[in-house]
Structure 1
Amino acid sequence: MTQDFTPGTIYLEDLEVGMSRSLKKVVTDRDIEMFAEVSTDHNPVHLNDDYANATMFKGRIAHGMLSAGLISAVIGEQLPGHGTIYLGQSLKFTAPVRPGDEVTATVTVTAIDPAKRRVTLETHCAVGDTVVIKGEAQVLAPSRG
C-alpha cells in the first residue's frame, strides 16, 4: 500500500472541511484469496476463472468489501486516524475491481459537529479515473480535550 500522508491522527480540533487523505493498493490474487478465507465468502466470481468468465463481468473480480476496507484504512490510519470510532458507512458499488488493479481510496471531510465530535466524510475508491465505490461515513473523531 502506498499512502499520500504519514499515518497518525488529526484531532477534531485540527480538522477542516475539505481535508482529504488517500492510499493506493494493488489488489492481488492473494488478497482476494485471503479475503475469501477471512470473510467466508467463496463466491466463484472471485475465485474461479471458468465460472467468472461466464458472468456479466467476463472475468474474476475482487470482493467489493475488500476495496471498501481500504476506506476504513484511510479513516483509521490517516483521517481522522488513530482513535477514530466508526459510526456508519454507506457504499454504492459502481464498477468492478479486478486482480492487478490499483485501487485509490480517498476520504474527504464534508462536515464537522464539534459538540458531538462527529465528522462526516465523503468516501470513494477509484481504479484510474473510474470510480468503483462511492459513499459517506460518519465517525467520532479523537479529541485532545
Structure 2
Amino acid sequence: MANRNVEVGFTDSVTVQVTDKMVQQFAELSGDRNPIHMDDAYAAKTRFGRRIAHGMISGALISAALVKTIGGGGVYLGQSLKFVNPVFIDDVITITIKITGVRKEKGIATVETNVTKANGDVVVKGEAVIMVGADMEHA
C-alpha cells in the first residue's frame, strides 16, 4: 500500500470488534493463558466482573492500523503503551493514529496511537516511532 499521508497532523482511525476468537487465537500464539482472559468463572470474581482481552491485542491492532492508515513497508522502532481501561470480549474499539513528527531526512515518523471504546472510554494511550517504508518516502 503506497502512502501519501506521512505529514505532521495526518489523522485517521480504524474500528474493530474484539472477539472471543481473537482472544483465543492470541492466547494460542502468545502462550498467555491468564484466567482473567480465558476463564469466565475466574474472571467473574475479579474487579472486572468478566473476562478481559489481552492488552497486547490492542497493541497488535495498533500495528495493523498503522499499515491500514499510513501504509505498508515501514518498521516499528518503538511503541509505548499505557493501558487505561479494560477491553471486554465483544467491545468495539477505535484505534486513532496521528502523526506528530516527521524527520524526512531520517525517514522516521512519530505517531500518537490511542484506542477508545465505542462509549468514548480511552483504553490505551501510546506513541509509536516508525521507520517509514520506501513506498512511503516517495509518495
Instruction: Say yes or no: TM over 0.5.
Output: yes
Partner of 2:42: 51
**Hey, what's the Cα distance between the residues in 2 that align with 1:43 and 1:132?**
19
1:54-110 per-residue CA deviation (whole Å, 9 max, x = no partner) reads 11111100000011211100112321x111111000000000000110011111100
Report matched runs for 1:35-74 at 5 Å: 35-74=26-65
How far 1:23 sits from its partner (Å)? 0.9
SS at structure 2 position matched to 1:66: helix
- Output the aligned Cα RMSD: 1.3
Q: Which runs of 4+ in 1 moved over 3 A?
A: none
SS at structure 1 position matched to 2:89: coil
Q: Name the amino acid aligned to 1:10.
A: N
Please say which of residues 129-138 and 14-23 is displaced more in the overlay. Answer: 14-23
1:109-133 per-residue CA deviation (whole Å, 9 max, x = no partner) reads 0001111111000001110201100
Report matched runs for 1:17-96 at 5 Å: 17-79=8-70, 81-96=71-86
TM-score by length of 1: 0.88
Q: Unaligned 5+ residue runs, structure 2?
A: none
**Hey, what's the Cα distance between the residues in 2 that align with 1:78 and 1:15?**
10
Q: How many residues align?
A: 135
Partner of 2:126: 135
How far 1:31 sits from its partner (Å)? 0.8
Q: Unaligned 5+ residue runs, structure 1?
A: 1-7
TM-score by length of 2: 0.92
**Hey, what's the Cα distance between the residues in 1 that align with 2:15 and 2:85?**
17
Please say which of residues 18-27 and 83-92 is displaced more in the overlay. Answer: 18-27
**Hey, what's the Cα distance between the residues in 2 that align with 1:26 and 1:17?**
28
**Hey, what's the Cα distance between the residues in 1 that align with 2:10 and 2:2?**
13
The answer to whether the aligner puts 1:118 opposite 2:111 as a matched pair is no
Q: Name the amino acid aligned to 2:49.
A: K
